[in-house]
């Protein structure tokens, strides 16, 4: 089992299960989408992001996001994006678009990486690929798209990263194919929610996915590559 000190959770939320306890030595980026989440996260000296989630596209949160950017309290903007997975979510498309456009503008203004939430909406995200390619980096969090989608994203947004999580643990063939098609320098790993106990499982499954291990001496050296990738989103002072 990999030690927490060797691995990095590129995206996790604080909730009732883990808001009061993060294991000693645990390292990762806390993602916040509400003031309540932010207040819970402030007690931890870990890098943080803040964004207006497409599940709750409330443009009134934009002022707080901009305040955090002005005070340089976050390492990136998001998660933000589009989610058209259900009919109910599709009904909020206009609000999602308003929040997306505003957050993309702020990320460009403050030159911050952007963390993207996308379900059934990759084509919509890529409509803004010209703007996204101007950012320091973008991360497709919880990536579950295909190999072909990943390659299209990289062609249009060369500084795109793909963060894989529990989709790998469910052993889907599509996720394995996508993972193997992406350069290791563009991969991140995450738990997303209260998954601090299974982060090592995600790393071990990702290691199993690697078809050609000639680039790495061990799973520990692979973890080192992921840590290096994570510095772009976390800031080197947090690693």
pLDDT of 211 reads: 73
pLDDT of 25 reads: 79
Residues of the chain predicted below pLDDT 50:
none
Q: Which residue has the tokens 């101007």?
A: 134
Tokens of 220: 């520990």
pLDDT of 135 reads: 98
Tokens of 40: 């819970």
**Residue-range domains of the chain with CATH:** 37-238 (3.20.20.140)
What lies within 8 Å, CB to CB, of 202 at 6+ separation is: 164, 165, 166, 168, 169, 189, 190, 191, 195
pLDDT of 171 reads: 78
pLDDT of 214 reads: 78
pLDDT of 19 reads: 52
Tell me the residue ranges of DSSP E strands in 89-228.
114-119, 138-140, 160-164, 187-189
pLDDT of 172 reads: 83
């Amino acid at each position: 089992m990999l030690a927490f000190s060797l691995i990095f959770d590129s995206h996790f939320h604080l909730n009732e299960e883990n808001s009061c306890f993060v294991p000693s030595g645990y390292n990762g980026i806390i993602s916040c989408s509400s003031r309540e989440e932010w207040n819970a996260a402030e007690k931890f000296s870990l890098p943080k992001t803040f964004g207006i989630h497409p599940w709750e596209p409330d443009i009134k949160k934009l002022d707080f996001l901009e305040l955090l950017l002005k005070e340089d309290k976050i390492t990136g903007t998001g998660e933000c994006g589009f989610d058209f997975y259900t009919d109910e979510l599709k009904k909020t498309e206009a609000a999602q678009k308003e929040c997306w456009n505003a957050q993309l503008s702020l990320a460009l203004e403050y030159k911050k990486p952007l963390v993207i939430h996308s379900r059934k909406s990759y084509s919509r995200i890529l409509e803004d690929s010209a703007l996204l390619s101007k950012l320091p980096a973008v991360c497709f969090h919880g990536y579950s798209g295909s190999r072909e989608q990943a390659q299209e994203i990289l062609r249009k947004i060369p500084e795109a990263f793909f963060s894989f999580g529990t989709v790998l643990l469910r052993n889907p063939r599509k996720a394995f194919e996508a993972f193997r098609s992406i350069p290791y320098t563009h991969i991140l790993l995450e738990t997303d929610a209260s998954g601090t106990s299974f982060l090592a499982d995600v790393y071990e499954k990702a290691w199993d996915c690697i078809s050609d291990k000639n680039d790495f001496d061990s799973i520990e050296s692979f973890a080192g590559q992921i840590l290096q990738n994570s510095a772009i989103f976390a800031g080197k002072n947090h690693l």
